[in-house]
Structure 1
Amino acid sequence: MSRTARLLLLLGTVLVLGGVAVGATLHAAGRADRKDRAQSGGPEVTSGAVRLDAPHRGLFRNMAWGPHRDEITAVPDGRLDGPRTASGVHCLRFHAAAGTGICLQAVHGKLRDTYRAVLLDNRLRELRHYDLAGAPTRARVSPSGRTVAWTVFVSGDSYAGTAFSTRTSIVDTRGRRLDANLETYAVTVGGRRVRAADINVWGVTFADDNRFYATAATGGKTYLVRGDRSTRTLRALHSNVECPSLSPDGTRIAYKKRVAGADPDAPWRLYVLDLRTLRETATAERRNIDDQAVWRDGHTLVYSLPGDYGSDLWTVPADGTGSPHRLLSAALAPAFSR
């Protein structure tokens, strides 16, 4: 056998053995993935096309461990515990309505992470983005999809005894008008204008593209405020309201309330406020709720609680009846099609 033939034979052998090794590695990795999922009881998640305007779909941030963690994921509304379709879009906070999405995401740098708010079209493609001043905490889209809000935690405000405060922004997705900080709005409590350095505003929920509700805090108290973009005003309606969420018919607000006698580290319970009578109703959920609930329909609330993967979604009737039950494991930041 010539030297050339021997070299060709050797090269062929190396290639075959390399292919066998790669195949064995991939096969073992696939088995490990399936084994890990079976042992953990985690949901099945695969890549695919996700649309924000698809009917009868639930959307949320997937929290299951694996290559699709933190991706916006879709499931059929009638089979929320079924296989998940992952979009490839990573978000820390997310919301969507009428084919518009808002994704608050981390931008990983060599020295530190930064954050940005990304406006998404109905195929989850970026329209534009805005740099954020701090870590994301809340996000909402108006029912028409035209107006979007987000809240972040920021540090460095000297008046904040806990060394952080919030900053909330609202943007018109068509006209691109940006209200970068709602603390610049005129705040009234009890009919009097409040001028204080410690005002914080967070947790927007939209009535329409101009009117909204939010939480405003000053002087150690929190208030439900009604906001108006055209007049740049925030008017207090009720005290001890945080992270409001407006019902689909616009008549009630779900919110977290600090209750007397609760553990200071777990002080919030889930309530519903009738906007006409200002009557409060405690839901049947008795655990600490540190979330901005979502209305799945006109009768049911969805909210997050700690779970094996970081967060699970739970549901409870809004009228105080029934009992809470787990809706989805390994999920956060839901949005449901109307």
Structure 2
Amino acid sequence: MKHIHTSYLGLQLTSPIVVASSPFTADIEGVRAAAEAGAGAVVLKSIFEEQIIGQSDHLSEFATSPFGDTDDYLQHYVGEDYRGRFLQLVTDAKAQTSIPIIASINCIGAGARWVDYANELGTAGADALEINLFTLATDRHTRSERIEEDYQYVVRRVCSAVKIPVSVKLPLRLTAPINVVDRMWGVGARGVVLYNRPFEPDVDIETLRFKPSNPYSEVVELRNSLRWIALCTRVMPQIDVAVSTGVHSGAEAVKALLCGARIVQVCTAIQRGGYGAISEMNRAIEAWGREHGFRTIEEFRGRVAEPA
């Protein structure tokens, strides 16, 4: 092949292999290692709004103030410290690598904090922003329409506030994924990531309690995503689609690209094979393309999504 370049959210990438938001992108050493291994971009570890709020809530349990402003002070101080470290990572990553840096934020609630966080990440130098959406609807009165409306509201607010392109990492179980993707596009998102892998607990039958299950993905988890990548590409070719979960080798990456994905996000592959897994995937994609007579990814991207 001539090259394995691709584009995503208007950014030019030398490889479709992107390191997903994870511990591997939580510090500058990990970001540099990913770049050196040939990653097309990295998605920095998410800044969790709930973690900022949670840290302040935890500290406020041990603090009292006769002036009644302790919670506000702790929210500001802990939030500033936590956010500051993420903003510095964005700045360092831009200064020390030449690949696109995608910031990531988990949004909860309907407040304005996440809009502020998104703005700050863009100002720090992030090339794009990934919004991770997930709601655990435990209230029996919560309707699915309300959840999707909340998603739309969050994305609209963020997209209108930032000057960098935004992608939305969608939850796995949606009744009408194409409609949700269309609504995300309508409020300003330029890409979607399929899918956010939810936490799925196991049960310890000795302690009679929930326990963490295997946090790593399996190749079989890619199958459902492939279907919806192809459908999104066919119905809404204007939006960039990325895949996350289940890509462990070059073969899975090629499948996702054939279905129309512009990039593939990887994490478990690095956990099991180190950063060298990125280089191996790049070589595998190039070898497959050369074997099948393709010069660039664009010559075969979306072939499976085309109507028969």
TM-score, length-scaled by structure 2: 0.30
TM-score, length-scaled by structure 1: 0.28
